[in-house]
Amino acid sequence: QKAHVRLMAEINCTQVTEFSLTGFTEDPVTQVTLFLMFLLIYLFTILGNLGMIALIRASPQLHSPMYYFLGNLAFADLCSSTVITPKMLVDFMSEKKGIAYAGCVAQVFIFDLFGMTECFLLATMAYDRYMAICHPLVYPLVMSPKYCFQLVTGSYLMGLTNGMGQTISMSNLSFCGSSVIDLFFCDISPLISLSTSDTTLSHIILRTSASLFGVSSSLVVLVSYMAIISAILSIRSAEGKRKAFSTCASHLTTVSIFYGTSLFMYLKPSSDSSREDKWAAVLYTVVTPMLNPLIYSLRNKEVKEALRRLTKPK
């Protein structure tokens, strides 16, 4: 009976061509305040990540696997932030907060591509720190430029697979009812809940992707850090322990923020109030890309030294 009703609904379906985004608030004063705040965050994100990429390319002492991965992480942050924040800023200033179906598909694809790429880049960086601390003698041999390039290419391919999977999932959905997305950007989860068609396949793709990619990349991080902590604890001198830990402190901070916010975003039980969901999404999509370059520039001696050399008058 349900299948028959759904089939009749799809036959009489007028496909949605545009989605409405609820944003954060209707209050004009709050909208202006949030616009200025997010504009500032976005400018910091662009300057920080572009600055990090330029610094790594310009400084020979940063031409190592760790900074090669960090440069790619900065690029992924730049892209995932740019696909969401400018549209959000425009919406703060406009009466009608809408996004075309094609624009929504593009947001889902690009955000899921770079979001998953970042997961695997963080896993790759954890593996790099594991090799550097636990196997320092074979580190230069194992982490060769060719192998580093393969690891980065693999991260982008995993991201591409995820982005394509979510886009195919979305293209199979019909939207005949409500076109209001209770968020500030197009995310696959609220889109699935809006759909009037059978969402079984979309749920399978979403869960498989989260389990296969998300869990595997986080396991690499977890296992790498268990081995790293074990190796650090076995070092006799306090100075040796401090030095070993300082090489992975920045990455550990970045990993904690990224996985902490994304797990909260996608694994927390859905509530009637979506206010918490929205602010968790802000942390995950807008704030985290700004924090990564800040963490590495403030906590990393090599980055500070490279910056000092570049800015020092000749």
CATH architecture of the domain with range 18-300? Up-down Bundle (1.20)
Residue range 196-205, pLDDT digits in tens: 777 777 778 7
pLDDT band at residue 14 under the 50/70/90 scheme: low
Q: Residue 4 above 60 pLDDT?
A: no
Q: Residue 75 above 90 pLDDT?
A: yes
Helix (H, G, I), strand (E, B) or coil at 138: coil
Tokens of 274: 């979506």
Q: Residue 82 above 60 pLDDT?
A: yes
Q: What are residue 17's phi and psi, to 5 degrees?
A: -105, -15
**DSSP characters for 62-116?**
G-SHHHHHHHHHHHHHHHHHHTTHHHHHHHHH-S--EEEHHHHHHHHHHHHHHHH
Model pTM?
0.86
* Strands, sheet with 18-21, edge to edge from the N-terminal-most edge strand: 98-100, 18-21, 180-181
Residue 170 and residue 221: Cα distance in Å, rounded?
Answer: 30
Residue 238 and residue 7: Cα distance in Å, rounded?
Answer: 69
Mean predicted confidence (pLDDT) in 151-168: 92
Q: Residue 217 above 50 pLDDT?
A: yes
Q: Which residue has the higher pLDDT, 222 or 195?
A: 222
Tokens of 127: 């593996």
Residue 184 and residue 62: Cα distance in Å, rounded?
Answer: 37
Residue 7 and residue 11: Cα distance in Å, rounded?
Answer: 6
Mean predicted confidence (pLDDT) in 205-227: 84
Mean predicted confidence (pLDDT) in 279-285: 80
Q: Please report the pLDDT score of residue 146 as a whole number.
A: 94
Q: Residue 7 above 80 pLDDT?
A: no
Q: Please report the pLDDT score of residue 8 as a whole number.
A: 52
Q: Residue 253 above 70 pLDDT?
A: yes
Q: Please report the pLDDT score of residue 273 as a whole number.
A: 46
Q: Residue 6 above 70 pLDDT?
A: no
Q: Please report the pLDDT score of residue 263 as a whole number.
A: 67
Q: What is the mean pLDDT of the chain?
A: 82
Contact 196, 10 (CB under 8 A): yes
Q: Which residue has the higher pLDDT, 40 or 300?
A: 40
Q: Residue 264 above 70 pLDDT?
A: no
Mean predicted confidence (pLDDT) in 270-283: 65
Mean predicted confidence (pLDDT) in 135-163: 93
Give the closest residue to 196 by CA, choosing from 176, 225, 212. 176
Q: Residue 180 above 70 pLDDT?
A: yes
Q: Where are the domains of the chain?
A: 18-300
Contact 81, 283 (CB under 8 A): no
Q: Which residue has the higher pLDDT, 206 or 157?
A: 157
